[in-house]
Amino acid sequence: MDKLHIEGGTRLDGEIRISGAKNATLPILAGTLLANGPVTVGNVPHLHDITTTVELLGRMGVSVTVDEKMRIEVDTSTIKNLYAPYELVKTMRASILVLGPLLGRFGEADVSLPGGCAIGLRPVNIHVDGLRAMGADIVVENGYIKARCERLKGASLDLDAVTVTGTENLMMAAVLAEGETIINNAACEPEVVDLAAFLNHLGADVQGAGTARIVINGVDSLTGGEYDVLPDRIEAGTYLVAGAITRGRVRVKDVNPEHLTAVLSKLTEAGAQIDVQDDSIELTMHGRPRAVDVSTAPYPMFPTDMQAQFTALNSVAKGRGVISETVFENRFMHVLEMQRMGANITLDGHQAISEGVEQLTAAPVMATDLRASASLVLAGLVAKGRTEISRIYHIDRGYECIEEKLHQLGAVIKRVPD
Ligand code: UD1
CA of 164 to the centre of ligand 1 (A): 6
Q: Is the CB of 145 under 6 A from ligand 1?
A: no
pLDDT in tens, 186-197: 999 999 999 999
Residue 329 CA, closest ligand 1 atom number: 30
65-84: average pLDDT: 96
Burial code (b: 16+ CB inside 10 Å, e: under 16) for 20-57 equals bbbbbbbbbbbbbbbbeebbbbbbbbebbbbebbbbbb
* Spatial distance between the Cα atoms of 116 and 204, rounded to a whole number of angstroms: 34
321-336: average pLDDT: 91
CA of 96 to the centre of ligand 1 (A): 11
Residue 127 CA, closest ligand 1 atom number: 23
> What percent of the chain clears pLDDT 90, i.e. is strictly above it?
89
pLDDT in tens, 353-384: 999 999 999 999 998 888 899 999 999 999 99
Looking at residue 368, its pLDDT comes to: 84
Q: Is 401 a catalytic residue?
A: no
Give me the amino acid identity at 25.
T
Looking at residue 115, its pLDDT comes to: 64
pLDDT band at 329 (very low <50, low <70, confident <90, very high): confident
Looking at residue 118, its pLDDT comes to: 33
Looking at residue 295, its pLDDT comes to: 98
Looking at residue 139, its pLDDT comes to: 95
CA of 163 to the centre of ligand 1 (A): 5
The residue whose C-alpha atom lies closest to atom 13 belonging to ligand 1 is: 164
203-215: average pLDDT: 98
pTM greater than the 0.85 cutoff? yes
293-298: average pLDDT: 98
If one counts every other C-beta atom within 10 angstroms of the C-beta of residue 254, the result is: 15
Looking at residue 238, its pLDDT comes to: 98
pLDDT in tens, 254-292: 999 999 999 999 999 999 999 999 999 999 999 999 999
Whether 140 has a pLDDT exceeding 60, the answer reads: yes
pLDDT in tens, 8-42: 999 999 999 999 999 999 999 999 999 999 999 99
Q: Is the CB of 327 under 6 A from ligand 1?
A: yes
CA-based R_g, the chain, Å? 21
Q: Is the CB of 122 under 6 A from ligand 1?
A: yes
**Cβ neighbours for 278, distance < 8 A, ≥ 6 positions apart:** 257
Residue 303 CA, closest ligand 1 atom number: 14
SS3 213: strand
pLDDT in tens, 90-124: 888 899 999 999 999 999 999 998 765 332 345 89
**Which among 385, 250, 231, 228 is positioned nearest to 309, based on CA atoms?**
250
Report the C-alpha dihedral over residues 284, 395, 50, 18, rounded to 10 degrees. Answer: 10
* 137 vs 121, residue with greater confidence: 137
SS3 369: coil
Residue whose CB lies within 8 A of the most ligand 1 atoms, among 157, 164, 183, 333, for a mutation test: 164
